[in-house]
């Protein structure tokens, strides 16, 4: 049985993050957040224990897990995971570390019925997490992390069986329905509505493998729904993922009037240093220079659209660590913290914890002093000039 917070939250709904930070964009505080990854959308590299007892070959994604175990066994396994993966003590610690936001990836299957085979049941745990966030002064960013047929073919979309979302109009229609139902769910609960600061429309769509016209119709329609359906001040932000395209590509496509109206929109950029084989042999100094360049790009483009760095980590190729891991990751963290607020909206670390990869875990990075405390503290002289 899920345990909800016992306090009378409705009598003490927090309307402001209470972080004391300077204002960022159109009345919003600068986002300094963390992703609650591996929770409602399982990724087995984050939680290998979730599939440890399953015989080889192991499932590669959540849909394979659902098909392998069947609905009842999957739901039993996931309920244990949902109950324990994130705790109120951890949420409180994240708030005390100076964070302002939790980005919460969630699957479309939680809001719509489909014949794909995904097992649902995580919404009560989403609600509990949002109530905890509210209690401890954090805002949340619900993130539609998946789409029917997959928008990118990655495990984080729920299925690694190709990029098929816009190949079937029924899948796009189902995504629209899922977004509508998610917004209705948010608006129906005063605590959740008060705690939601932004909505991420769709995580990491691989634009080069999709019909952009259908994606853009989904994004612009979603922005309209958020603007009209989640009325509050500051307005709830619509977050559009840049879909692995350069900022210059978006310059000619971003509606110029979006950020002059009451409801606002941000572009989401995910910046990692371990998925490009061309930089695997780079020194730490070269990686830091790339962070500086990313910061300059964020600053230069932020006049066209506010940019949030919705995912980043401390993961680096081994060559860059040079046998001095603690120093390298601390310098890498400080450089990124300085650079990623230049886009005007802020940043969200991926992710709050993992079972085996501390460079991807904010809580582990705190324990190892890779992430400074307070977040503005600097052990090393900044190398970037902005």
- pLDDT, tens digit (0-9, with 9 covering 90-100), for 36-45: 999 999 999 9
311 is catalytic: yes
Residue 216 has pLDDT above 80, yes or no: yes
Of the residues 43, 110, 204, 341, which is catalytic?
A: 204
Segments of the chain assigned E as strands: 31-35, 101-106, 139-144, 198-200, 237-241, 265-270, 307-311, 344-349
Of the residues 110, 116, 311, 334, which is catalytic?
A: 311
Residues in the chain: 386
> 211 by DSSP, 3-state: which?
coil
Instruction: Write out pLDDT tens, residues 235-261.
Output: 899 999 999 999 999 999 999 888 665
204 is catalytic: yes
End-to-end CA distance of the chain, in Å? 52
Residue listed under structure tokens 């909800």? 4
Torsion 173-181-225-258 (CA) sign: negative
In angstroms, the CA 318 to CA 20 distance is 38
Q: What is the pTM (predicted TM-score) of this model?
A: 0.94
Domains of the chain: 9-367 (3.20.20.80)
180, with CB counted inside 10 A (0-12, 13-18, 19+), is: middle
In angstroms, the CA 356 to CA 46 distance is 7
Query: Parallel, antiparallel, or unpaired for β 139-144 and 265-270?
Result: unpaired
Nearest one of 2, 79, 73 to 42, comparing CA atoms: 79
In angstroms, the CA 190 to CA 205 distance is 31
Instruction: Write out pLDDT tens, residues 362-384.
Output: 999 999 999 999 999 999 999 89
């Amino acid at each position: 049985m899920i345990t909800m917070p016992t306090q009378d939250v409705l009598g003490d709904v927090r309307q402001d993050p209470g972080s004391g930070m300077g204002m960022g964009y159109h009345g919003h505080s600068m986002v300094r957040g963390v992703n609650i990854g591996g929770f409602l959308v399982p990724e087995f590299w984050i939680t290998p224990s979730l599939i440890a007892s399953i015989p080889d070959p192991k499932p590669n994604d959540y849909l394979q897990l659902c098909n392998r175990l069947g609905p009842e066994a999957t739901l039993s396994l996931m309920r244990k995971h949902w109950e324990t993966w994130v705790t109120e003590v951890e949420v409180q610690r994240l708030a005390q570390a100076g964070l302002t936001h939790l980005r919460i990836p969630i699957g479309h299957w939680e809001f719509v019925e489909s014949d794909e085979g995904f097992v649902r049941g995580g919404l009560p745990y989403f609600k509990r997490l949002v109530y905890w966030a509210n209690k401890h002064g954090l805002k949340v960013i619900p993130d539609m992390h998946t789409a029917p047929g997959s928008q990118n073919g990655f495990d984080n979309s729920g299925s690694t069986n190709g990029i098929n979302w816009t190949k079937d109009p029924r899948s796009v229609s189902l995504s629209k329905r899922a977004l509508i139902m998610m917004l209705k769910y948010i608006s129906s609960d005063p605590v959740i509505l008060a705690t939601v600061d932004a909505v991420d429309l769709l995580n990491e769509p691989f634009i080069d493998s999709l019909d952009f016209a259908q994606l853009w119709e989904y994004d612009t329609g979603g922005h309209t729904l958020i603007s009209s359906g989640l009325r509050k001040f500051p307005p709830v932000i619509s977050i559009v993922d840049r879909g692995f395209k350069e900022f210059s590509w978006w310059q000619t496509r971003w509606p110029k009037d979006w950020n002059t109206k009451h409801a606002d929109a941000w572009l989401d950029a995910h910046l990692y240093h371990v998925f490009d084989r061309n930089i695997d042999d780079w020194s730490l100094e070269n990686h830091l220079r790339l962070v500086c360049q990313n910061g300059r790009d964020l600053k230069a483009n932020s006049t066209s659209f506010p940019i949030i760095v919705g995912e980043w980590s401390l993961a680096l190729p081994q060559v860059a660590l040079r046998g001095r891991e603690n120093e390298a990751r601390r310098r890498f963290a400080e450089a990124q913290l300085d650079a990623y607020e230049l886009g005007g909206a802020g940043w969200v670390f991926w992710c709050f914890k993992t079972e085996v990869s501390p460079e991807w875990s904010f809580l582990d990075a705190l324990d190892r002093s890779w992430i400074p405390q307070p977040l503005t503290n600097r052990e090393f002289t900044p190398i970037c000039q902005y």
